[in-house]
Amino acid sequence: MDTLPTGRESRLHGPWQHGMWNVRTDHRMANTIYGDSNSNVGNVSNSYNTTINVGIEEELLLRIREWLSPLQPHKRHQNVRNCRLDGIGEWVLRRSEFELWCGSQDGSANPTLLCFGAQGVGKTYIRSDALQEPGIMLTSNKISSLVIDTLRKRARGQNNAVVFLYCDYQTQKDQTPANMIGSLVRQTDLRAPKIQSEIKSAFDESKNEDCNGLQLPEMVKLFVNVIASCEVVYLCVDAVDEVLPQHRSEFLRALGQIVQEAPNVRLFVTGRPYIRIELDKHLTRGAYAIHIVADQGDITRYLSRKMDDDDQGPNLMTEDLKNHIMKTMLEKASEM
């Protein structure tokens, strides 16, 4: 969970950071003061014990993270953002629906924003049949990654958090509702004493009962509890239509329950148009909605970049050819 440095966070992390500071200080003392000071010997011993304790804590945190969920959305986010071109899709951020959803913190705005691909385009809203290559596409996950990065920047210096999921048909077997909500819990700050206590208690209880993990209702309750101290939590779910149908309704009900029970949550969801009926059924009525269309500004920026990067030689990619390609592609996009 992307939380920003606040006074509260400093207090929560302070003891652990202080422990690490002591380790470095004590080793420095051991290297410069030798021999006849029992207090220095004691400091070195304490340094060793602190190192062991920190190591045990880190090992426990790794075990708890794996227990919560095997999903690793940050890796997916990094891969998607590396393929994103600057400026493309930013028109979404300027829409009034996004500003209302993102900026309101007094409960006056609907907490849910839905983002759909245009009819016939699906999740991809820039596509060229003439240029068959994956890079030509600007998909919903690129919109999601843009929104996530934007929210992270806006959250700096505030007691806000950003958690997210990338649904993917290639990892559907791991995308159970409990694993997906567990991934959101996993993104919280597990070192914060209150959160650590909440999660560790659930972890210990589960292990004592020989359970593999929490059931979905327990995971939802745990997530709501651990985010209660945040002012705003932005929860972003990309391509929800790619969740298996037998899991999707249960997952959407869980999201609806989180929005209901946690008034500090702002939910952002992308998907294909046909999923709108399911979303309306399980999530907040009257949610803001943005339809993804073939934006001519995006197409122009993308094609300009591609033609500037063309390695066929300046004699082949002439200005006349560039203008012809641009005109043809914009005309095709307007027909989509």
Cα angle: 13, vertex 190, 197; to 5 degrees: 95
Q: What is the pLDDT of residues 55-67, one digit of tens each?
A: 667 888 888 999 9
Whole-model pTM: value is: 0.71
Could you count the other beta carbons within 10 Å of the beta carbon of residue 148?
Answer: 23
Average pLDDT, the chain: 74
Is residue 198 within 8 A of residue 269, CB to CB? The reply is no
Backbone region of residue 247 per phi and psi (left: phi > 0; alpha: psi in -120 to 50; beta: other values): alpha
Q: Taking the domains of the chain in order of start, what are their residue ranges?
A: 67-293, 297-334
**In CATH, 67-293 is 3.40.50.300:** yes
Q: What is the pLDDT of residues 128-186, one digit of tens each?
A: 333 333 333 445 677 899 999 999 999 888 899 999 999 988 888 899 999 999 999 99
What's the CA gap between 129 and 10, in Å, rounded? 53
Measured in residues, the chain has a length of: 336
Low-confidence ranges of the chain (pLDDT < 70): 1-56, 105-107, 118-140, 191, 194, 210, 293-318, 320-336
Q: What is the pLDDT of residues 184-210, one digit of tens each?
A: 999 987 767 767 788 888 888 887 776
